[in-house]
Chains A and B, each alone.
Chain A
Amino acid sequence: MTTETQKPQRVDGTLTSIGQKKPRIDGTLKLTGGADYAADRNLPNQTWGYPVSSTIAKGRLVALELDEALAMPGVLDIFHHDNFDKLSRSPNDFAAANKVGESRLPFEDNEIYYHGQYIALVVADTFEHARAAARKVRAQYEKSDDQLTDILALDSGQGDLPGEDVPGDASSRGDADSAFESASIQLDQRYSIAHENHSVMEMHASVAQWENDMLTVYESSQGVVFQRNALAKIFGIPQEKVTVISHFIGSGFGSKLFMWPHAVMTSVAARRLGRPVKTVVPRELEYLNTGYRPTSLQRVRLGADDSGKLLSIHHDGCNETSPAGLHDDTVSGATPSMYDCDNVAVTNRLVTVNKGAPTSMRAPGEASGAFALETALDELAVKLEMDPLELRKKNFAEKDPAADLPWSSNHLKECWDNAAQRFGWNKRNPTPGAMKDGDEIIGYGMATQSWEAMRQHCSARFGFRDDGTLLVACGTQDIGTGTYTIVAQTASEMTGVPIEMIDVRLGDSSLPSGPLSGGSFATATVLPAVSAAMKEALAELKTLATAEGGVFENVDQDSITLRDGRLVSGDNSIEIAELLRQNRIGLVDGEASTKPGDEQDQYSFRSFGAVFVEVRWDPGISRLRVARVCSTIDIGRAINPLTATNQVEGSIVMGMGMGLFEQIEYDAHGYPYNNSLADYVVPVNADMPQIEVELLDYPDYLRNEFGARGVGEVGLTGVAAAISNAVYNATGKRIRDMPISIEKLLAS
């Protein structure tokens, strides 16, 4: 096993697999029911858990009446504060790969921190028995009436945002205060985004089993290694004794990155009962205790001269967090890198509310921050009577002004021009309400898109088998985005072995440790490790081939290349499978770990994009619809343009949700009002606009040898701002609070 330190060779030239549009290799399994999702797992002698949760937002659990529930048919046991195992909290450390979603352990105390907090787990022989008994558990509370669920209500509308400042989030350059004071054009506005929920299609579920002292958990997880490590810490057992399996995930969007308490409850129950336990988190509880994008409140101040040159940027953010688990969304974190401006100051604040822990939700922080910044720029353009696209171009950052480093690769200017041209931005009339079509008024809006292009450390295994197939394994996951496929494409590209003959294994913490499927970093992280592992295996193959009596005896190993599944040197070649068979070896494999190098200190890595939106506003019936979205994205190389484009399309739909519909509402009593798929409004098929995505193709070889930066989040950033800006162009109404609901349009 090696750790890569040298810059590997670029993979470029004529590519046959990488960069090609490949349908997902797991598509057939998914369409035929062959994909084993977590809750599909049924183990011998299995039992079912069903949670009981708090119906108050704040207070104390005084008593649980369990007698009736315990007497119900099929009930095996009920776990709660008074009989739960004594466990340790996970250190909850991202760097140590044991971060969890809710740091509080289930049933840890009898305090009630939020509505929906687990207070008991009923385990029975069937799902129906467990659910029926759970409904017979009666809880007595001492209720506090001073719960807080709405941070927007705390805002005075002026000056500082509410909450506690997070000193580590603040950064500044120049003197933003003075520059703002002296700027001839000033803008000072507040923006907010409502609490959004991931609303994943595949429900959260744990199936836990102890065999002797070994714990196996089947989970719908975006991070099997993180969950494995956290469970080991919580139970105080070695990592080797815990396995977390997540072969297929039916969407996560961040809600499945970090473990939630249901997995701990289920694991404890399985140990206590000596039988496997399956708990599927009920849909209505998923909205309460598997994370969410926290409500955010932001203040943006921009100072500019009369030509539109930015003189100052202030960006203050505030998001809600939970007593059950701290989450800082750092909504202003990316702002210092976005535009060329000498005087910038950003801060973030937190307010603790009586809700479950927030967590990452697609483009966490940056999607929220981009909404505020990109809307503020549109407002500034109006003040300047300047085209909003020209304003952005005027302030293009030639290098990363925050880190004072060159970009590894930045084609934002081409994104702007390409998307503007395809969209027909030059037909825009800047006067609100000037473009009409029958009953409808048309509005155009745009925004810049961006997301940090990270890379993490990763291990992988690569094997050649004597039947000609390849085995590629990594403890990362495919969350539906196509990781299985791009790993196979990469293996195929490097070896010439057809994709159909490549066996990709992911979603198992016992495999070499891979990254979370999040942050858009899985692609840039995993593929170099796969490549390094392949080279390890190849070296062994070469040693075999050049050994005494081997086909390449006495041949210089450096002259041997790999082509079409064969080792080639000069005019001689041998099929690798044949080489293995000759040596009576079933599998030659290599394992390697890779991590980013000192390029981190020499360059700034970001993906970019531009999004243009057409809305249609029918004022006679207060109907707002997104009609058209055009986005051009610069993500380095797309390993699979088919799935990458699909990612951006999905991001746009999610951005429509943020802009138009999505918000979890709590009433004045701290009661979550719309925690169901029926009542939480997300875009549906009938809302789909014409979506036109174009991916630029400029490989970023500073990020890795494949030039890939990843694509999961960048497409979401800016979408809500572009919608809001288009709404202003159509209506003259500036809606600064997402979502843009009918009542907000009517009120303004």
Chain B
Amino acid sequence: MRAFELESVEAIDQAVSHRRVHDGEAFIAGGTTLLDLVKLDVMQPEKVVDVSRLPLKRIETLEDGRLKVGALVSNTELAKHEIVMRDYPVLSEALLSGASTGLRNMASTGGNVMQRTRCPYFRDPAMPCNKREPGTGCSAIEGINRNHAVLGTSEHCIATHPSDMCVGMVAAGATLVLEGPDGQREVAFEDYHLLPGDSPEREHDLKPGELITHVILDAPRSGGQHYLKLRDRASYEFALASCAAIVNLDGDNISEVRLALGGVATKPWRADAAEAVLKGQPATQENFEQAAEAAFNDAVAYSHNGFKITLGKQAIVRALRDATAAARG
């Protein structure tokens, strides 16, 4: 048995002070990723800090209209929260399309942001993987890469970020609140996850000792919203391609649009090139298709995942269509 030290903390400063040493320590909240990876021998924490009792379980509206979500709010609670369902349906839909009820009950908001890729080569310690063991090589590039990314890849890693929730948050707009030994700071949600580049082991902008305490969602955006997830089977599978769309109309023209993609990229992906195509233009199928083209302009296909470019475009077109329909009411 791999023994590790377990410490439960009751207060945030206690939690972050316990994480002065970065390596060999891990926070645990719902445990739906960490326990899996420990059992697979992919992660070998020497110390696990249980943060599940921290007072980070509230959802509250701030004076400026933003919604502050505690990092320990479960995926189920967040998805089913009255305000989220009403003002951030794209986020609610994204959450409910992920995992299973049981997992969503356990999984926390902060943990979802931190979840690791599902690349099978990453999850098997016997295989080379630059993310797990820097410098060993990427098995997926020459191996089977059907589920891997076509956007944001590098020659060192092509693993997708698996989260649906994060895609919804990128579309809705959000800020992460991080608490560390040196105090609190905020990071724009879109800037938090990092591209693999030449250091795929660095997945996010979290400094040693820091803990995600909250996600603050931007004030609700008017207009129609939709999250569409495409996959082989109807449930319990990570996205092959997904799209979160928020569309605002001015008459028949698109006044504001936000698009985010999942399943096709190495991080929760803001499709700003596609947004630029659409802004001010009529909400037509033809324009949706042009936007979809733009979103995948820089896509790189590997031996098995070329279909994701087509599928991703289809996700964009359909999500835009349905979000537009919702905007029209």
Q: Mark B120-134, 1 if CB is under 8 A from A, else 0.
A: 100001110000000
> Closest chain B residue to A656 by CB distance?
B233
Which residues of B are found within 8 Å of A623, using beta-carbon distances? 230
Contact present for B2 and A686 (CB under 8 Å): no
A678–B236 Cα distance when bound, in Å, is 9
| B245 is an interface residue with CB less than 8 A from chain A | no
Given contacts A132-B1, A668-B143, A671-B127, contact A742 B232 (CB under 8 A): yes
A620–B289 Cα distance when bound, in Å, is 11
Which residues of A are found within 8 Å of B304, using beta-carbon distances? 743
Given contacts A678-B118, A679-B120, A742-B307, contact A673 B143 (CB under 8 A): yes
Closest CB of chain A to B20's CB: distance in Å? 28
Closest CB of chain B to A410's CB: distance in Å? 36
Contact present for B230 and A622 (CB under 8 Å): yes
Dominant SS among interface residues on chain B: loop
Contact present for A132 and B2 (CB under 8 Å): yes
Contact present for B232 and A621 (CB under 8 Å): no
Given contacts A55-B126, A132-B1, A622-B310, contact A681 B232 (CB under 8 A): yes
| A598 is an interface residue with CB less than 8 A from chain B | no
Q: Mark A618-629, 1 if CB is under 8 A from B, else 0.
A: 001111010000
Which residues of B are found within 8 Å of A621, using beta-carbon distances? 228, 230, 311, 314-315, 318
> Closest chain B residue to A619 by CB distance?
B314
Closest CB of chain A to B57's CB: distance in Å? 28
Q: Mark A451-474, 1 if CB is under 8 A from B, else 0.
A: 000000000000000000000000
Contact present for B41 and A687 (CB under 8 Å): no
Which residues of A are found within 8 Å of B230, using beta-carbon distances? 621-623, 742
A684–B231 Cα distance when bound, in Å, is 13
Contact present for A661 and B310 (CB under 8 Å): no
The listed residue with most B CB atoms (<10 A of its CB), out of A623, A669, A687, is A623
Contact present for A684 and B236 (CB under 8 Å): yes
| B139 is an interface residue with CB less than 8 A from chain A | yes
Given contacts A669-B143, A684-B233, A686-B236, contact A674 B1 (CB under 8 A): no
A742–B239 Cα distance when bound, in Å, is 13
| A676 is an interface residue with CB less than 8 A from chain B | yes
Which residues of B are found within 8 Å of A625, using beta-carbon distances? 234
> Closest chain A residue to B40 by CB distance?
A284
Contact present for A681 and B310 (CB under 8 Å): no
Contact present for B232 and A741 (CB under 8 Å): yes
Contact present for B143 and A746 (CB under 8 Å): no
Closest CB of chain B to A673's CB: distance in Å? 4
| B327 is an interface residue with CB less than 8 A from chain A | no
Closest CB of chain B to A636's CB: distance in Å? 35
Our pick among B2, B143, B228, B240 for the contact of A671 (Cβ within 8 Å) is: B143
Q: Mark A358-388, 1 if CB is under 8 A from B, else 0.
A: 0000000000000000000000000000000
Which residues of B are found within 8 Å of A665, using beta-carbon distances? 144, 146
Contact present for B120 and A687 (CB under 8 Å): no
| B201 is an interface residue with CB less than 8 A from chain A | no
What band does the interface of chain B fall in when counting residues whose beta carbon is under 8 Å from A? 20 to 34
Contact present for A126 and B1 (CB under 8 Å): yes
A637–B22 Cα distance when bound, in Å, is 67
| A95 is an interface residue with CB less than 8 A from chain B | no
Q: Mark B207-244, 1 if CB is under 8 A from A, else 0.
A: 00000000000000000000010101111110010000
| A572 is an interface residue with CB less than 8 A from chain B | no
Contact present for B139 and A671 (CB under 8 Å): yes
Closest CB of chain B to A44's CB: distance in Å? 22
A660–B125 Cα distance when bound, in Å, is 30
Q: Mark A386-397, 1 if CB is under 8 A from B, else 0.
A: 000000000000
Contact present for A676 and B120 (CB under 8 Å): yes
A681–B120 Cα distance when bound, in Å, is 14
Our pick among B125, B228, B234, B311 for the contact of A686 (Cβ within 8 Å) is: B234
Contact present for A673 and B142 (CB under 8 Å): no
Q: Mark A728-748, 1 if CB is under 8 A from B, else 0.
A: 000000000000011100110
> Closest chain B residue to A72 by CB distance?
B1
> Closest chain A residue to B305 by CB distance?
A743
Which residues of A are found within 8 Å of B41, using beta-carbon distances? 135
Interface residues of B in 142-179 (CB under 8 A from A): 142-144, 146
| B317 is an interface residue with CB less than 8 A from chain A | yes
Which residues of A are found within 8 Å of B240, using beta-carbon distances? 742
Interface residues of A in 21-57 (CB under 8 A from B): 55
Interface residues of A in 651-679 (CB under 8 A from B): 660-661, 665, 667-669, 671, 673-674, 676, 678-679
| A683 is an interface residue with CB less than 8 A from chain B | yes
Closest CB of chain B to A171's CB: distance in Å? 38
Closest CB of chain A to B200's CB: distance in Å? 19
Which residues of B are found within 8 Å of A669, using beta-carbon distances? 143
Our pick among A73, A667, A686 for the contact of B144 (Cβ within 8 Å) is: A667
Which residues of B are found within 8 Å of A126, using beta-carbon distances? 1
Our pick among A128, A678, A684, A687 for the contact of B1 (Cβ within 8 Å) is: A128
Which residues of A are found within 8 Å of B228, using beta-carbon distances? 621
Q: Mark A100-125, 1 if CB is under 8 A from B, else 0.
A: 00000000000000000000000000
| A327 is an interface residue with CB less than 8 A from chain B | no
Q: Mark B261-281, 1 if CB is under 8 A from A, else 0.
A: 000000000000000000000
A625–B235 Cα distance when bound, in Å, is 12
| A129 is an interface residue with CB less than 8 A from chain B | yes
> Closest chain A residue to B143 by CB distance?
A667
A667–B41 Cα distance when bound, in Å, is 22
Interface residues of A in 665-712 (CB under 8 A from B): 665, 667-669, 671, 673-674, 676, 678-679, 681-687
Contact present for B314 and A622 (CB under 8 Å): yes
Which residues of B are found within 8 Å of A747, using beta-carbon distances? 307
A132–B1 Cα distance when bound, in Å, is 5
Which residues of B are found within 8 Å of A55, using beta-carbon distances? 126-127
Interface residues of B in 294-329 (CB under 8 A from A): 304, 306-307, 310-311, 314-315, 317-318
Contact present for B144 and A684 (CB under 8 Å): no
A465–B2 Cα distance when bound, in Å, is 54
Which residues of B are found within 8 Å of A678, using beta-carbon distances? 118
Interface residues of A in 123-141 (CB under 8 A from B): 126, 128-129, 131-132, 135
Which residues of B are found within 8 Å of A686, using beta-carbon distances? 233-236
Contact present for B143 and A620 (CB under 8 Å): no
Contact present for A743 and B144 (CB under 8 Å): no
Which residues of B are found within 8 Å of A673, using beta-carbon distances? 120, 143-144
Contact present for B235 and A681 (CB under 8 Å): no
Which residues of B are found within 8 Å of A676, using beta-carbon distances? 120
Which residues of A are found within 8 Å of B233, using beta-carbon distances? 660-661, 681-684, 686-687
The listed residue with most A CB atoms (<10 A of its CB), out of B1, B144, B236, is B1
Closest CB of chain A to B225's CB: distance in Å? 18
Closest CB of chain A to B197's CB: distance in Å? 24
Contact present for A742 and B118 (CB under 8 Å): no
A575–B295 Cα distance when bound, in Å, is 83
Contact present for B311 and A746 (CB under 8 Å): yes
A678–B142 Cα distance when bound, in Å, is 22
Closest CB of chain A to B138's CB: distance in Å? 12
A743–B311 Cα distance when bound, in Å, is 9
Which residues of A are found within 8 Å of B234, using beta-carbon distances? 625, 684, 686-687
A660–B234 Cα distance when bound, in Å, is 12
Contact present for A681 and B237 (CB under 8 Å): yes
Which residues of A are found within 8 Å of B318, using beta-carbon distances? 620-621
A334–B191 Cα distance when bound, in Å, is 61
The listed residue with most B CB atoms (<10 A of its CB), out of A620, A665, A743, is A743
A671–B119 Cα distance when bound, in Å, is 14
* 15 interchain pairs, CB-CB under 8 A: A55-B126, A129-B1, A620-B314, A621-B230, A621-B318, A622-B314, A661-B232, A673-B120, A684-B236, A686-B234, A686-B235, A686-B236, A687-B233, A742-B240, A743-B307
Beyond the given pairs A621-B311, A682-B233, A685-B235, 17 more chain A to chain B contacts, judged by CB atoms under 8 angstroms and listed by A's residue number, are: A132-B2, A620-B318, A621-B228, A623-B230, A661-B232, A669-B143, A671-B139, A671-B143, A673-B144, A674-B120, A681-B232, A684-B233, A686-B236, A687-B234, A742-B240, A743-B304, A746-B311
Q: 8 shortest A-B CB distances, which residue pairs?
A: A128-B1, A686-B235, A686-B234, A743-B307, A667-B143, A55-B126, A673-B144, A687-B234
